[in-house]
Amino acid sequence: MCGRVLGALIVLSVVALLGVGCGSKKKNQAVVARTASPTPVVTPQELLDTAKATLNADRAFHFVLTHENGTTPIAEGINMRQAEGDIVKPDRFKATVQGTILAGQTVNVKVINVGDKVWLNIFGNTWTPLPNGVGAAQILDPSNGVLKAVSGAKNPRIVTQETINGVATTEVAGTIDAGDLTALDQQAQAGKMVQGKIWIGNADHQVYRIRLEGPLNDQEPANIARQIDLSNFNETVDIQPPS
């Protein structure tokens, strides 16, 4: 239940090689200039397509999902501010969610997903299975829907080069229809456009960051932003149902 995207490399090249030929008894010299073939320029869409393919091939990764100026409703009346955890393909993840419940109380909720089963631990050692587990799991899975939508952003463009946690990346931005982000927020409205950004590793083509700026529906603040940071690609993580 997880999965998608990653990225490519941008290079500028022009190199001239000079060759000098001499005759055995001739005083004149012939100078031959050879120009290296230019490196093809990678387009923003090619970067996005490569990033998506790379993330699809990953077996596992760590994620941190954060909000600025807002929250996302998930399950059991919980409004998520932050979630951190691990994804293991094809259908497992675990996370700790920080958020608030309807009464405004701050909670730290543990979530485990195995197959089509999802369990929440809100208080104590009690794990509660969710009847609509698959839908709730999709909201917390940063590779489901979100990466697909970003990779299909309209009018993608290369913004800048940036180092994230010591990794050189290329930032690509474009506009996204909120209707393509229902996996992240089931109340997302088609026709509302948000700014999508993705940071792609120059050397390994991994997706290191995804950022969505703008409301997904009429109820959200105009300055809300969601950010997903990915790391620890293909590390071994054991995720089992709660005992």
Amino acid 30: pLDDT: 46
Q: What are phi and psi of 51, to 5 degrees?
A: -60, -45
pLDDT at 90: 86
Count CB neighbours of 28 within 10 A. Answer: 6
Q: Are 73 and 102 in contact (CB under 8 A)?
A: no
Task: Please give the torsion angle defined by the CA atoms of residues 23, 25, 28 and 31, in that order, rounded to the nearest 10 degrees.
Answer: 20
Q: Does domain 40-231 have CATH number 2.50.20.20?
A: yes
Task: Spell 71-105 as b/e; 16+ CB within 10 A means b.
Answer: bbbbbeebbbbbbebbbbbebbbbbebbbeeeeee
Tens place of pLDDT for every residue, the chain, 243 residues? 333 333 322 222 222 222 323 344 444 444 445 555 555 678 999 999 999 889 889 999 999 999 999 998 887 788 899 999 999 988 898 999 999 987 788 989 999 999 888 898 988 889 988 876 555 556 656 666 677 777 778 999 999 999 999 999 999 999 999 988 887 888 899 999 999 999 999 999 999 999 999 999 999 999 999 999 999 999 999 999 998
E strand or H helix that includes residue 49: helix 44-57
Domain spans in the chain, listed from the N-terminal domain onward:
40-231
| Full-model pTM | 0.79
Q: Side chain identity at 227, as an amino acid letter?
A: Q
Contact 96, 83 (CB under 8 A): yes
